Amino acid sequence: MHMTTVSIAEPATYDAAAFAAQALSSPAALAAILDHTLLRPESTRAHIIRLCHEAAEHRFACAVVNPVWVGVAVETLAGTGVRTGTVVGFPLGASLPGSKADQAKRLVKLGALDLDMVLSIGILKSGTKDDFDAVKKDIRGVVDVARGAGAVVKVILETCLLSFEEKHRATEIALAAGAHFVQTSTGFSTGGATVDDITLMRSVAGDRMGVKATGGVRSLADASAMLHAGATRIGASASVKIVTELAGKI
């Protein structure tokens, strides 16, 4: 693949060990960097309300739900200080850029403040400068919407489908497009977060962008490994189990 240069400032050194130590210092500190997630298509209103109650009880960073449930989540979380998160172009990333931007507009209008968008995977893998520019434009469309609403954009790379070079390039593009985080996985493809992928993404991002580990993070040991590799946010359906494990060790 021909690699082109994206003009971005050099990263400052990121201290993963210090961040991990702080995040693992108490259940409350760990909860604050966990996105409590429920994206199964068969989830019902009762499941979503329960997720939100758990998010409020443990003070998770946000509750992440499918777009159809954003209104329910916002209503349930009202007054708790816990944010509602959702997904854009999920899980394939193959929606038209205009559709992603329009979806983002509708979701922030409903009250979503965290937008986890899937990048255009196949276009990225096509590998030309025009393709990279198209991926950047796709992300920028959602970032522009989020900026006006005070929302956060996390770009899902679906790392299990990308080569080392593609993961490196995707992280650079997300950074150049103004995203707040890069994220490993949807949880609906062939693999989830790995320590190697988090390390790679952090090496590109430095201290300029967050890195979110999602997909297969089911235990305190999993979460700890991702934090020490450079993750600053973790998405998991096992969030309650993870913080309960830490509480039992302190």
Q: How confident is the model at residue 7 (pLDDT cuts 50, 70, 90)?
A: very low
88 pLDDT more than 90: yes
Q: How many helices (H) and strands (E) does the chain have?
A: 11, 8
Average pLDDT of the residues in 140-153: 97
CA distance 86 to 116: 6
Q: What is the pLDDT of residue 148?
A: 93
Global pTM value: 0.94
The dotted CATH code for 16-244 is: 3.20.20.70
123 pLDDT more than 50: yes
Q: What is the pLDDT of residue 12?
A: 67
DSSP state, residue 187? S
Q: Across the chain, what does the average pLDDT equal? A: 95
Q: What is the pLDDT of residue 10?
A: 58
Q: What is the pLDDT of residue 36?
A: 98
C-alpha torsion sign, points 242, 245, 249, 250: positive
Average pLDDT of the residues in 83-108: 98
Q: How confident is the model at residue 14 (pLDDT cuts 50, 70, 90)?
A: very high
- Give which of 25, 12, 52, 24 is closest to 36, Cα–Cα: 52
Domain definitions of the chain by residue range: 16-244
Average pLDDT of the residues in 157-172: 98
